[in-house]
Structure 1
Amino acid sequence: MSTQAGAAAGNGAGRRGRAAARTRRAAALLTAAAAIGTVTALPAWAAEAAPLPPYSFDPSAQRIAGAGTSADAKPLEPGRTYRDTLKKDGKLYYRLNLDTSRNTYVSAVAVPEPGGKAAYGDGFRISVQDGSGVECGYQDVNFGAGDYGRPLAAYARRIVDPDVSGCQEAGAYYVVVERDSDAASAPGDWQLELQHVTEPLLKENGPDELPGSWPSGTPAPVTAEQRKRQGGNGLHDAVSLERGEWRADIRPGQTLFWRVPVDWGQQLFTTAELGSSDAGDDLVGNALALGLTNPARGFVELKTVSYSGDPARVALDPRRPVDHKNRSAYEDGTNGMRFAGWYYLSATLSPQIAAKYGDQPLPLILRVDVTGAKQPGPDYAGDPGIFQVTADDRDAAASGATDSEAADDPTMAVVAAGGLGLGTVLLVGLGAWTLLARRAAR
């Protein structure tokens, strides 16, 4: 055989080998998709829509069992994330071993079963207490006027401050998470994602009085070209955004998550617009819920809007520029804007939309604006960690990156991209497999 003929034969064998490898990879993708799903038919053939994607918990989270009493509480370590389960009207204790060198924040994300019934005021309380039961800091969060369950986030804190008399000693403290549910509410367990983070103290304490005036006006609407950026399924895989107009598709009962870097001295403005539908004009109260959570996963704000088939818009209130001094305010909306870092947006579409307009996605438009020049941050006595905006953060916001480990894996990224249902993934994968098989045969 000539060298040229041998090379041609080798190239042909190489092409066939590569084609076969592509076929095997396609088959593996289908197997992975089938393994993570729970439906048994493709959407085109199924009588019911595919189930909603589950909340995306941090895969590195450690399982922990909250105790019924403080004496049996297990410790939460700084920088760690944990998973637990909160029963109806349950109350759980966790231990913190704290010194006086850093501020402490412990957050909880409570995740009910999607679409479950919730009465007005259903929610939970998270607090940090000292050994005598004195509360150092707490937050209460609930579903508001909406009567359906969705993920709720809140945090409690212990701040080291020489001007405060309580909660200043080193030693054992306790995190208490307590669920408050009406008798008519869904009785199912709530999954918890707990996170313990710390913040360095200032090198020198200064005046913390808030400025009397601040730019409270709403800027001109964002007029950038609309781009597609589907939200994530949890805080862990929240999709990064920068200033602009963003398009997503949201199903009834679904919650989507995004994150926006906001630096010291900057303000975040956000509106969410639910697109029109030609399927009817029935009114659904509190159909769209738009929420804001700070970098330590503390609750900042929640707004809702009703829907009757026409476009519906909801906007977050103007907030003070991000400033260390904001922590001196009592109100959550100001107090929560106390750090630079990633601020999280969530949008939930009421499951009642399905009964009125069908279980199909509705278009959702987010308009995000970050105004104001970056200001020097506080003079921290150590590394601010998550409480800063880096050049990498800005690059992530421009590209739409997430911190999710699944997003770093190309196979899982294909399966998870855009919140696709399993049936859609299988259908696309089947087409790709067939095409690769034909190429291999040729």
Structure 2
Amino acid sequence: MHRSVLAPAALAALSLLVGSVPAASAVGAPSSSEAPEVVVVLDSSGSMAEADAGGGQTRMDAAKQAVTELARSTPEGTRLGLRTYGDGVDSEAPGSCEDTTLRVPVGPVDADAVAAEVADLAPRGDTPIGTALLAAAEDFTGDAAQTVVLVSDGEPTCDPDPCPVAADLAARGIDLRIDVVGFRVDAEAREVLQCVADAGGGTYVDAADAAELSAALDTSALRGFRVYRPEGTPVEGALEATGAPLVEEGQYLDEIRSDEPRYYTVEVPRGWTVRAGATITRGDDPQRRGVRGMLVTSVLAPGEEPQCASSIDFPDNARGSAPLSGGVLSGPDALRVQAPETCLAGGPLLVRVEWTGTDQPVALPMELVISLEPPVRGSEGLGEAGDRTTVFPEPPAVPDPVAVDGGPSFNDATELRPGAWSDSMRRGETVYYRVRVGWGQQLALRVDFPRQPPDSALRDSLRAGTYANVLVFDENRLPAFPEGTRSKRYTEFRDGEAQDMYITTHAVTWANRRELDLYAVRNVSRAGDYLVMLSLDGDSSSVEDEGLAIPFTLGVDLLGEAEQGPQYVTDGAAVPASDPAAPSPAASEEAATAPSTGASPEAVATADDVAPASGRALPAVVVVLVGLAVLLVAVLAALVLWGLRRRAGPDGPADPGP
């Protein structure tokens, strides 16, 4: 009774003395607040008056319809602009080669404004593509990713030559790409427009009629919004352990080549756990799709060998646009059996990331995410470790979904709560979500695609060869999805429909990190945000197939009530390895060599392991106030310190009791 009465006051005082208990360290990237921007550059030259777009439509009418549909289907909050050329001055008249107009400035999409602007367009003039591209590059408003989507029905009739212009824009170092849609073009015009796309780092697509134009424009524009833009503080990892740059907690951006490992140095306080995750992005460049191989992430003691901990991660879906992610954690009860004492002694450790098993010739962007987790105090709240026998039932379908737009990367993952959510994807896209999961909870996901969709074009396009994949990672990009048949994270479309997919993670407990042989258990060992990655890939027979948005429903549930979890030690820095108060060799050897299963809670680092050299569990707190406030605070502080010393005295943690 006495303990329960004091609990609220003690908790308030503890928040001042030792801080709040962290569920998970914030490891988000330093991301830009600006959304990607797209400028559509629309041909309104005289040739667009040709009535050969199908159904008696002129090319201009088809283009108007396609641009209007694009604006109405663009996700809310995205930034879209519209520029035209060839509609203000007659062909060969003075000024016709400078005839380009910004109709809708780049900003949050305004479908009504776009529709009103295109409604009055009348084709009449020349085709100054180079001039329009130069102007479009100045239309963007910030430093976010920029995409120009050029729609043209012919080759340029004015200088400058658009191909060198595109190359020059690409060489400026800005994050700009130029996609091109050729509308009913001949071979000569196609060659020029293909050159523009290649030089501008984009893609070229042919469209033969109004339907294909709409699909191509939709795909090219929306690709600019759902492209994985890698983020992080720039860093250049060393090719050898010597010279490895020092990285702190946070997210970094590097490049990596096949079979060229990257080394980094991390200062890890004694008794702390370090997580190191990596994401090798594929982007939407066709030359970067289908990257195979494996990601090997290791934490090493100084001198590189032997290893403290290591993880090998394979791409669960190597054909599509999804990135390759994986990582490792190293700390008390999460070490290799033969790990050396230096893995826990505190001080510099090496992180090595290697991409191997592939002949990919190019360097790819790699995000590196580092986080540090403090030791825990005592054995309460550690939970039980999962095992191979855990049963994962298929989550039920959830009715009444709410529309949502998935993010284009881990960095921009859309936050979801338990419930049902609807979204859509095009082939080659990957969307990302995040869900907050508490201690003791399981994340349950279910993905449902339409059964026999009523849209005949959609049904016909969902043939064999179209497949979907869903995965779950922790905040550091460590895989957190059950292996084998205990989840259904892959499906292939057949005859217009696909089976549902589902994943249920292990319950989040600190003790899960002891299960070194099962990544699906080990990596579900910290409460916080868990990241969901959903990919759709496969072959398409036409640009119309490529542009079709395939709807799906994502059911999200959290099984179990959130628990208190462990109590972290946050009352000061850990003693460095060189300090006389470093753990004894015997204690270090016991922690480093203990098997991952059956490790006792007493093997966990406690407050004494990270206390200052004086051996006190908490630093002295002296509060001087006036009058009655002095008396009240002194009594409260005394009660709190008395309770803490009972739990973590000089002889170790007290028995918590029943």
Tell me the TM-score normalized by structure 1: 0.71
Q: CA deviation at 1:364?
A: 2.1
2:478 to 298, 310, 334: 298
Query: What residue number does 1:10 align with?
Result: none
Q: Which has the higher strand share?
A: 1
Q: CA deviation at 1:145?
A: 5.8
Residues 260-296 of structure 1: CA deviation (Å, up to 9, x unaligned):
11111111111222334322463116x1111100133
Query: What residue number does 1:199 align with?
Result: 373
Q: CA deviation at 1:151?
A: 0.9
For residues 150 and 271 of structure 1, what CA distance do their matches in structure 2 show?
A: 19
For residues 405 and 470 of structure 2, what CA distance do their matches in structure 1 show?
A: 15
| Aligned residue pairs, count | 353
Q: CA deviation at 1:154?
A: 1.4
For residues 70 and 354 of structure 1, what CA distance do their matches in structure 2 show?
A: 48
Supply the AA of the counterpart residue of 2:322: R
Q: CA deviation at 1:254?
A: 0.9
Query: What residue number does 2:247 align with?
Result: 76
Q: CA deviation at 1:367?
A: 1.2
Check if 1:86 corresponds to 2:256: yes
Check if 1:142 corresponds to 2:292: no
Shift of the 90–111 alpha-carbon distance from structure 1 to 2, 3 Å rule, reads: same
Shift of the 148–28 alpha-carbon distance from structure 1 to 2, 3 Å rule, reads: closer
> Structure 1 vs Structure 2: percent identity of aligned residues?
20
Q: CA deviation at 1:81?
A: 1.4
The answer (yes or no) to whether the contact 1:73–1:94 under 8 Å persists in 2 is yes
Q: CA deviation at 1:239?
A: 0.2
Query: What residue number does 1:152 align with?
Result: 324
1:130 to 301, 320, 324: 301
Query: What residue number does 2:34 align with?
Result: none
For residues 130 and 215 of structure 1, what CA distance do their matches in structure 2 show?
A: 34
Shift of the 314–223 alpha-carbon distance from structure 1 to 2, 3 Å rule, reads: closer
Query: What residue number does 1:104 align with?
Result: 274
2:353 to 177, 201, 205: 177
Shift of the 311–151 alpha-carbon distance from structure 1 to 2, 3 Å rule, reads: same
1:223 to 398, 420, 432: 398
SS of the residue 1:54 aligns to: coil
Alignment of 1:12-31 (within 5 A): 27=105, 29=107, 31=139
- Structure 1 runs not aligned, ≥5 long: 1-23, 384-442
Query: What residue number does 1:372 align with?
Result: 560
Shift of the 217–380 alpha-carbon distance from structure 1 to 2, 3 Å rule, reads: same
Shift of the 44–264 alpha-carbon distance from structure 1 to 2, 3 Å rule, reads: farther
Shift of the 311–369 alpha-carbon distance from structure 1 to 2, 3 Å rule, reads: farther
Supply the AA of the counterpart residue of 1:315: M
Query: What residue number does 2:650 align with?
Result: none
Supply the AA of the counterpart residue of 1:176: R
Q: CA deviation at 1:175?
A: 1.0
Check if 1:326 corresponds to 2:512: yes
Query: What residue number does 1:426 align with?
Result: none
For residues 266 and 221 of structure 1, what CA distance do their matches in structure 2 show?
A: 17
For residues 317 and 531 of structure 2, what CA distance do their matches in structure 1 show?
A: 21
For residues 391 and 547 of structure 2, what CA distance do their matches in structure 1 show?
A: 39
Q: CA deviation at 1:99?
A: 2.2
Cα RMSD over matched residues? 3.2
Q: CA deviation at 1:102?
A: 2.0
Larger displacement relative to structure 2 (368-377 or 198-207) = 198-207
Supply the AA of the counterpart residue of 2:105: A
SS of the residue 1:27 aligns to: strand
Supply the AA of the counterpart residue of 2:228: Y
For residues 251 and 345 of structure 2, what CA distance do their matches in structure 1 show?
A: 25
Q: CA deviation at 1:93?
A: 0.9
- When Rg is computed on C-alpha atoms for both structures, the one with the higher figure is 2
Query: What residue number does 1:56 align with?
Result: 229
Query: What residue number does 1:435 align with?
Result: none
Check if 1:346 corresponds to 2:533: yes
For residues 312 and 269 of structure 1, what CA distance do their matches in structure 2 show?
A: 20
Query: What residue number does 1:9 align with?
Result: none
For residues 220 and 360 of structure 1, what CA distance do their matches in structure 2 show?
A: 28
The answer (yes or no) to whether the contact 2:229–2:283 under 8 Å persists in 1 is no
For residues 230 and 347 of structure 2, what CA distance do their matches in structure 1 show?
A: 30
Supply the AA of the counterpart residue of 1:54: V
The answer (yes or no) to whether the contact 1:218–1:269 under 8 Å persists in 2 is no
- Structure 2 runs not aligned, ≥5 long: 1-101, 109-138, 153-180, 184-205, 208-215, 484-488, 572-658
Tell me the TM-score normalized by structure 2: 0.49
The answer (yes or no) to whether the contact 1:273–1:311 under 8 Å persists in 2 is no
Q: CA deviation at 1:144?
A: 3.5
